[in-house]
Amino acid sequence: MNTILELAPQNVWKHFYSLTQIPRPSGFREPIRDFLLSFGKNLGLESFVDEIGNVIIRKPATPGMENRKGLILQAHSDMVPQKNNDTVHDFTKDAIEAYIDGDWVKARGTTLGADDGLGVAAIMAVLEDNNLKHGPLEALITVDEETGMYGAFGLKPGTLRGEILLNLDSEDEGELYIGCAGGVDLTATLEYKEERVREDDGYVARRLTLKGLRGGHSGLEINQGRGNANKLLMRVLHDVLVSFDTRLVSYEGGNMRNAIPREATALLLVNPDEVNDLDAYIVDYEQQLNDEYTPIESDLTLDLEETELPATALPEEIQDALVNTLLACQDGVMRMIPTVPDTVETSSNLAIVTIGGGKAEVRILARSSCDTMKEFLADSLTSCFSMAGMKVVLSGGYSGWQPNVHSPILHAMKASYAQQFGVEPAVKVIHAGLECGIIGAACPGLDMISFGPTLRSPHSPDERAYIPSVAKFYDFLTATLANSPEKE
């Protein structure tokens, strides 16, 4: 077997392949929007784009199924654009190069886009197949889920007709999700006046880079103890600034709020008399970090490279305030759910840090399935950055999706899964920002479930889809359509 087009079920994998050929990073909406709209119209189905850019496609019930509750199949069209440092790829122009590696589909040096391309592909397969039994169907393909759930937030009340929503954006086959974490974006900024660097100051310049971390999804994989490049490099910088005659010039790390940062780099001024000692210090520090993070991380590297002397640097008081604040701020898991101790309740991701050119900016995604804990975490982070004189703005806040254990579609799907596969599906709450809670607020009364095939390391170039799970996921989806509840 050479290509994903030969995988089963072929009707799902062929559509996923077509999605890999269309650039669709978050914020780059038009190509995938036009593709999906044409797909629906070519099937003769009612297809339109709402005000925010979501694609909606409607398919009538098959004969004899008109009395079933209307089902909404929901997924998002965008993908997280992450690549390895040595991979040449333009996410606005280039196709994703997917390949088969044993039981997994991966991408060469980039994110795969199975999150949520496989959900979209499954919806396309359902819409195309006229042999399936189902009640009235609506496909809702939302935009820019990965960068702020803009499509879900922009959905207008009254747009949808269905009573049941199936979100196809979870990442463990055999699990049904009935609740999710809420979240809020925190942005902290500080403007400062740079100091000029003169040649007679006696410094040389070095670029310090930390890379090789696994990264990953800042909700689903936040509990695995993976290294955060921003947090780790700030730790190194703090110790370097204390131990050596050095100054910070600029810093850059991370590029997505919902991805654990994998790489970060800092530009330093260094006393030339201490360069050799600093080189040795960085080598030892690299070994120390690898010892601490084995076996979670296996390729962590710290590199110190010579570079040109810059024209400016941070004032020392600003440098110290920023480094100390970033070292102190909350990152990672803050609390587990007291009643479900194996599930994360509250966490934060020190996602993006940029310092240079007279401005510092920090972006964090804070999550919690408990709204009061989310507020507490946001207040804690705000206090931390305010002590450094930074301006803090909270935006894009959304509540968690509260579980309903008495959901009719949940009971129907549990029975259907057990009948198909001989085991009960797991019923869980996920520590990630699914769109269900936001859509549910716009469409009160929706009965909602989230499920999907098995994916690993979404939001990183290690993203992969477990091939055997895709057929089970799709078979379960079509059985759910055939067994959907009748109208009351």
The 10s digit of each residue's pLDDT in 148-205 is 889 999 999 999 999 999 999 999 999 999 988 999 999 999 999 999 998 878 999 9
Q: How far is CA 303 from the centre of its chain?
A: 27
pLDDT score of 398 more than 90: no
- Give, as one character, the DSSP assignment of residue 159: S
Query: Are residues 204 and 275 in contact, defined by beta-carbon separation less than 8 angstroms?
Result: yes
Predicted confidence band of residue 340 (pLDDT cuts 50, 70, 90): confident
Q: What are phi and psi of 248, to 5 degrees?
A: -90, 130
**In the chain, where are the structural domains located?**
4-181+400-482, 184-398
Please identify, in words, the CATH class of the domain defined by 4-181+400-482. Answer: alpha beta
- Report d(CA 284, CA 292) in Å as an integer: 12
Which residues belong to the active site? 78, 145
Q: What are phi and psi of 347, to 5 degrees?
A: -155, 165
Question: Lowest-pLDDT range, 22-26, 55-59, 197-201?
Answer: 197-201
For residue 173, which of 400, 437, 409, 467 has the smallest C-alpha distance? 467
pLDDT score of 108 more than 90: yes
Query: Are residues 228 and 364 in contact, defined by beta-carbon separation less than 8 angstroms?
Result: no
pLDDT score of 386 more than 70: yes
Mean pLDDT, rounded, of the chain = 95
Q: Which fold has domain 184-398?
A: Alpha-Beta Plaits (3.30.70)
Predicted confidence band of residue 291 (pLDDT cuts 50, 70, 90): very high
**Alpha-carbon distances of 219 from 77, 129, 316, 361, rounded to whole Å:** 19, 34, 35, 22
DSSP of 439-459, one letter per residue? Answer: HHHHSTT-EEEE----EESTT
pLDDT score of 317 more than 70: yes
Mean pLDDT of the 245-252 span? 98
Mean pLDDT of the 319-347 span? 93
Mean pLDDT of the 293-321 span? 96
Mean pLDDT of the 109-136 span? 97
How high is the pLDDT of residue 406? Answer: 86
- CB 443: neighbour CB atoms within 10 A? 21
259-287 confidence digits (pLDDT tens): 999 999 999 999 999 999 999 999 999 99
How high is the pLDDT of residue 1? Answer: 56
58-75 confidence digits (pLDDT tens): 999 999 999 999 999 999
How high is the pLDDT of residue 488? Answer: 81
356-367 confidence digits (pLDDT tens): 999 999 999 999
Q: How many residues does the chain have?
A: 488
Phi-psi region of 30 (alpha: psi -120 to 50; beta: other; left: phi over 0): alpha
Query: Are residues 146 and 217 in contact, defined by beta-carbon separation less than 8 angstroms?
Result: no
Question: Lowest-pLDDT range, 146-155, 306-315, 336-345?
Answer: 336-345
Tokens of 382: 């705000």
How high is the pLDDT of residue 459? Answer: 87
